[in-house]
């Protein structure tokens, strides 16, 4: 299949010869054949024209959950990857948020096979411990050989410090990446929202920032002792940014991410007890969101994520205390992040992170495989349920203004389009 992109403005600050230039791009059988000021379409070529068309390398998301296997009513792998493609993402890392959770090589093979032929590439995480129960290490080496790009007991802290130590030492034999969710459960107790003025006013049990920061300090001390590669997912506090910045100055091999909703929203939205805003880590204060955004700009926070977490309506439309955590975020990742930062920074953030997982980053140049995202950075609209392609509709962004829309992606030889 041949595709010709007409008058596409290229956003790729790592490619000085093409960055901010408007070019035609010809793609033949999945390979970028020609990039020039003007290219005439050949026969049997699909010509793609869009208003204010921009193009970048395909976007990457380090934290998505679907449902399959076990929770297919939330989201299947097939529809989840289609949603990712329509949202601009050509590559996603899949959380081990399923039942049964993937803790063996055969589980990883199943997930990889389920994604074959889909418009977005799927890279699964395996659990760090068997059944994600925190007691015994899972089959880390075998899962790595089967295609797992890291090891994570999804949203569960590693309570046993010695087990984290052993894991960090063990994975150095094959350059594995260990996740540690930043939450001290003893400090957090039964808290469900950020501890502070808002939680006190609403009478909701709070999760103090200390619960995150104590765990971050512990994990960084262990990493300094063991060596290895550590990833701290979805941090949410200003002090976590500072702690990780200090660790990086020491030369520790640590990375971290932040969920886009923790940049956009604060605990002030909880006034009406709407469980759509119940997430973990919880929405924090304006000062925390500001520090996280600054951490992104400074490079302390390595990448952003949608932290896409589909949930059935029955799991959300209950009392706040009993509601499940999570919001979907793939469809709104670009439009919400683009409200906060300039377009070049947004595209850089949405494109980076692959190297941390041992994946090659695509290159936008002739004779390279076409892995592209097509978008309009200037269109504004109000996000509503009609814009959701996920099976679950639990988005905290419904009713929010978006800046920027995605036309689609070109990946694996196919053009997946919203039009």
* Active site residue ranges: 307
CB-neighbour burial class of residue 174 (10 A; exposed 0-12, middle 13-18, buried 19+)? exposed
- The answer to whether residues 235 and 241 touch, using CB atoms and an 8 Å cutoff, is yes
**Please, which residues have CB within 8 angstroms of residue 35's CB and are 6 or more apart in sequence?**
18, 23, 24, 25, 26, 365, 366
Q: How far apart are CA 161 and CA 324, in angstroms?
A: 27
- The answer to whether residues 304 and 257 touch, using CB atoms and an 8 Å cutoff, is yes
**Please, which residues have CB within 8 angstroms of residue 105's CB and are 6 or more apart in sequence?**
139, 142, 143, 145, 146
Tell me which residue has tokens 């200003």.
Answer: 238
Return the ∠ at Cα 131 (arms to 125 and 137), rounded to 5°: 75
- The answer to whether residues 235 and 62 touch, using CB atoms and an 8 Å cutoff, is no
Neighbouring C-alpha atoms within 13 Å toward the C-beta of 267: 27
Q: How far apart are CA 23 and CA 211, in angstroms?
A: 50
> What Rg, from alpha-carbon coordinates, does the chain have?
21
CB-neighbour burial class of residue 217 (10 A; exposed 0-12, middle 13-18, buried 19+)? middle
Adjacent-strand bridge partners of 31: 28, 369
Tell me which residue has tokens 């050949």.
Answer: 42
| 209-226 helix and 161-170 helix, angle to the nearest 10 degrees | 40
Adjacent-strand bridge partners of 230: 178, 254
DSSP category for residue 262: H
Q: How far apart are CA 43 and CA 340, in angstroms?
A: 43
Residue 339: asked if its preceding bond is cis (omega within 30°), the reply is no
Q: How far apart are CA 305 and CA 303, in angstroms?
A: 7
């Amino acid at each position: 299949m041949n595709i010709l992109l007409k008058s596409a403005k290229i956003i790729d600050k790592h490619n000085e010869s093409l960055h901010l230039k408007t070019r035609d791009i010809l793609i033949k059988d999945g390979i970028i054949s020609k990039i020039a000021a003007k290219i005439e379409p050949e026969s049997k070529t699909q010509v793609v024209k869009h208003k204010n068309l921009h193009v970048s390398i395909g976007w990457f998301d380090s934290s998505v959950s679907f449902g399959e296997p076990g929770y297919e009513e939330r989201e299947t792998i097939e529809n989840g990857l289609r949603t990712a493609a329509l949202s601009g993402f050509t590559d996603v890392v899949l959380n081990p948020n399923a039942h049964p959770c993937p803790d063996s090589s055969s589980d990883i093979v199943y997930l990889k096979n389920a994604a074959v032929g889909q418009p977005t590439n799927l890279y699964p995480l395996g659990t760090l411990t068997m059944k994600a129960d925190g007691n015994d290490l899972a089959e880390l080496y075998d899962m790595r050989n089967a295609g797992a790009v890291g090891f994570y007991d999804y949203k569960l802290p590693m309570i046993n410090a010695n087990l984290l130590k052993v894991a960090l030492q063990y994975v150095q034999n094959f350059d594995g990446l260990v996740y540690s969710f930043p939450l001290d459960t003893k400090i957090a107790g039964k808290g469900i929202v950020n501890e502070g003025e808002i939680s006190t006013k609403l009478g909701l049990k709070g999760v103090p920032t200390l619960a995150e920061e104590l765990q971050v300090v512990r994990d960084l001390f262990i990493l300094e002792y063991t060596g290895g590669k550590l990833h701290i997912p979805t941090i949410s506090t200003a002090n976590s940014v500072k702690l990780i910045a200090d660790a990086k100055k020491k030369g520790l091999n640590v990375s971290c991410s932040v969920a886009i909703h923790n940049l956009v929203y604060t605990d002030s939205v909880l006034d009406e007890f709407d469980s759509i805003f119940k997430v973990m880590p919880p929405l924090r204060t304006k000062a925390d969101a500001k520090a996280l955004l600054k951490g992104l700009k400074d490079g302390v926070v390595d990448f952003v994520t949608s932290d896409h977490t589909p949930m059935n309506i029955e799991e959300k439309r209950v009392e706040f205390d009993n509601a499940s955590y999570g919001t979907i975020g793939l469809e709104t990742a670009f439009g919400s992040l683009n409200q906060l930062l300039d377009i070049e920074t947004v595209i850089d953030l949405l494109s980076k992170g692959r190297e941390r997982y041992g994946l090659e980053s695509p290159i936008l140049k002739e004779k390279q495989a076409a892995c592209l995202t097509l978008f309009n950075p200037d269109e504004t609209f109000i996000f509503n349920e009609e814009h959701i392609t996920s099976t679950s509709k639990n988005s905290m962004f419904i009713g929010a203004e978006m800046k920027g829309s995605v036309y689609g992606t070109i990946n694996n030889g196919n053009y997946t389009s919203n039009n």
